Structure 1
């Protein structure tokens, strides 16, 4: 094998191995373990939590005021859909005065994988073909002259 043949084989092997590696992506809040454990019930309030952790990923809309800090890491093999590899959720609950009541942390044990059933959602009514959808309304609305508000028996007759 010539010198150029060996170099070409090494380059081809490097390209093939790089194409098969999975992609890791981080989404959401960037977790800092020290800061997450620094939140203390009875000591911190909304202002100190925001100063320590920043704005939450989202806030509760119902029930007691709760701030959620969500962090997830996804992995994706080539030509596949991404899947969650790791997830951390910090739920900081406040009382009515804005003081921290609890700071609960959870991980992958609460992740639920949902597998939808099929590609379409069943609906009530009749099934229509493409041609029925395309030509179905011809003559339905305002089809006959005189039908409607200005027709026979209406004003101006």
Structure 2
């Protein structure tokens, strides 16, 4: 082997473990520039809001209608767990006629961390394994009939 080839091989072998140490940034949800939020004026209609910002992440009908645009930025370094570095919620509140009455802009410091992509639904009962459920059913065979 030539010295050049050995040098290249040594550099490649040493650089391989460092390849996993880079940080990866992942964006989830509606990433809305702040200048677009400033374009929403009190008195704007729902249609104007949807034209500027798109469809909301979620809506609410409690104490008036509201659109929520939610985004999260996570960073992952190598094999470590992802860390939430930024979370933004843009809230657009509507009056009873469907026009903007107020806007809100919330960040990670304003509330607790939310998991946008949770794929589990919690139930009100206890979490029992399959075998425990069968044995409990055998103890009380009249339940559910």
Do structure 1's residue 59 and structure 2's residue 63 form an aligned pair? no
Is the partner of 1:109 in helix, strand or coil? helix
Do structure 1's residue 2 and structure 2's residue 7 form an aligned pair? no
Do structure 1's residue 47 and structure 2's residue 80 form an aligned pair? no
Superposed CA RMSD? 3.2
Q: Which has the higher strand share?
A: 2
Is the partner of 2:42 in helix, strand or coil? coil
Structure 2: unaligned runs, 5 residues or longer: 115-124
Q: Which has the larger radius of gyration?
A: 1
In the alignment, the residues of structure 2 paired with residue 90 and residue 113 of structure 1 have an alpha-carbon distance, to the nearest angstrom, of 15
Aligned pair count reads 128
Alpha-carbon deviations, 1:114-152, whole Å to 9, x = none?
9xxxxxxxx88xxx9x9x859958x8799xxxxxxxxxx
Q: TM-score, normalised by structure 1?
A: 0.68
Report the counterpart of residue 28 of structure 2 in structure 1: 27
Report the counterpart of residue 100 of structure 1 in structure 2: 100
Q: TM-score, normalised by structure 2?
A: 0.73
Structure 1: unaligned runs, 5 residues or longer: 115-122, 143-157
